[in-house]
Structure 1
Amino acid sequence: MMVRRIFITASLAALALPAPAWAEALPRLQVWRDESCGCCAGWVDHMRAAGFPIEDNVVRSLAAARRMLGTPSDLLSCHAGLIGGYALEGHVPAAAVTRLLSERPAGIRGLAVPGMPVGSPGMDVPGLAPDSYDVLAFDARGGRTAFMRFRGGTPV
Structure 2
Amino acid sequence: MNRLSRRLLILGLPLAALAGPALATPPKRMIAYKTPWCGCCGGWIAHMRQAGWTVEVVEREDLAPIRAQHGVPDRLASCHTAVVGAYAIEGHVPAGDVDRLLAKRPAARALSAPGMPAGSPGMEAAGREPYTTVLILNDGSTSVFGRHNGA
If the TM-score is normalised by the length of the shorter chain, which range does it land in?
Answer: 0.7 to 0.9
Q: State the one-letter code of the partner of 1:150.
A: H
How far off its partner does 1:24 sit?
6.0
Does residue 119 of structure 1 match 2:149? no
1:11 — aligned with what? Answer: none
Q: Match for 1:58: what amino acid?
A: E
The answer to whether structure 1 residue 31 and structure 2 residue 32 are counterparts is: yes
Q: Go from structure 1 to structure 2 and tell me whether the alpha carbon gap of 1:26 and 1:131 turns closer, same or farther (over 3 Å shift).
A: farther
* Length, aligned pairs only: 130
2-structure distance, mates of 1:136, 1:103 = 15
Structure 2: gaps of 5 or more residues: 1-20
Report the TM-score when normalising by structure 1. Answer: 0.77
| Matched residue, 1:97 | 98
* Partner Cα distance (2:40, 2:125) in 1: 10
Give percent identity, aligned residues only: 42
Runs in 1 of length 4+ with deviation above 6 angstroms? none
Q: Which of the pair has more CA radius of gyration?
A: 2
What amino acid does structure 1 have at the position aligned with 2:116? M
> What is the letter of the counterpart of residue 37 of structure 1?
C
RMSD: 2.1
AA matched with 1:35: P
In structure 2, what is the Cα distance between the partners aligned to 1:24 and 1:57? Answer: 25
3-state SS in 2 of match to 1:89: strand
Consecutive unaligned residues of structure 1, counting only runs of 5 or more, are 1-19
Name the residue aligned to 1:150. 148
- CA contact under 8 A between 1:92 and 1:111: conserved in structure 2? yes
Structure 2: how far apart are the matches of 1:149 and 1:39?
A: 21
